[in-house]
């Protein structure tokens, strides 16, 4: 079994461009999901639930499609968790100021 980084270092340019595009789609989907939860509720729990749904979808995509979905999953997971963390922190700060 070879290491993951060996296969990634020899990736063709076309595949790399495809993964960058998948990453951009993943980031857009994550921001849209978290933003929609925030816009509809302005509450912490729906934002966290939306992030959990996005993370679960990302994990299922990675398990189902493997390396073919790596760019998409790499965009989904950190973006959804980061956006959720920032909105939760902002909510808590605003709650504290009131």
What are the sequence ranges of the domains in the chain?
A: 4-97
User: Residue 7: its pLDDT value, please?
Assistant: 58
- What average pLDDT does the segment 18-22 reach? 91
**pLDDT exceeds 90 at position 38:** yes
**pLDDT exceeds 80 at position 11:** no
Which pTM does this prediction carry?
Answer: 0.81
How far apart CA 47 and CA 50 sit, in angstroms, is 5
User: Residue 68: its pLDDT value, please?
Assistant: 87
How does the average pLDDT of the chain come out, rounded?
A: 89
Q: What is the DSSP string of the chain?
A: ---HHHHHHT--HHHHHHHHHHHHHHHHHHHHHHHHHHHHH-SHHHHHHHHHHHHHHHHHHHHHHGGGGHHHHHHHHHHHHHHHHHHHHHHHHHHHH-
Residue 3 banded pLDDT, cuts 50, 70, 90: low
**pLDDT exceeds 70 at position 60:** yes
- What average pLDDT does the segment 56-70 reach? 92
Q: How far is CA 70 from the centre of its chain?
A: 11
């Amino acid at each position: 079994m070879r290491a993951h980084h060996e296969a990634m270092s020899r990736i063709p340019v076309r595949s790399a461009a495809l993964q960058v595009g998948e990453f951009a789609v993943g980031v857009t989907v994550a921001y849209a999901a978290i933003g929609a939860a925030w816009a509809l509720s302005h509450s912490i729990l729906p934002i966290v639930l939306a992030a959990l749904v996005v993370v679960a979808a990302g994990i299922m995509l990675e398990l189902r499609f493997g390396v073919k979905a790596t760019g998409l999953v790499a965009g989904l997971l950190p973006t959804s968790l980061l956006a959720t963390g920032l909105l939760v922190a902002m909510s808590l700060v605003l709650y504290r100021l009131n």
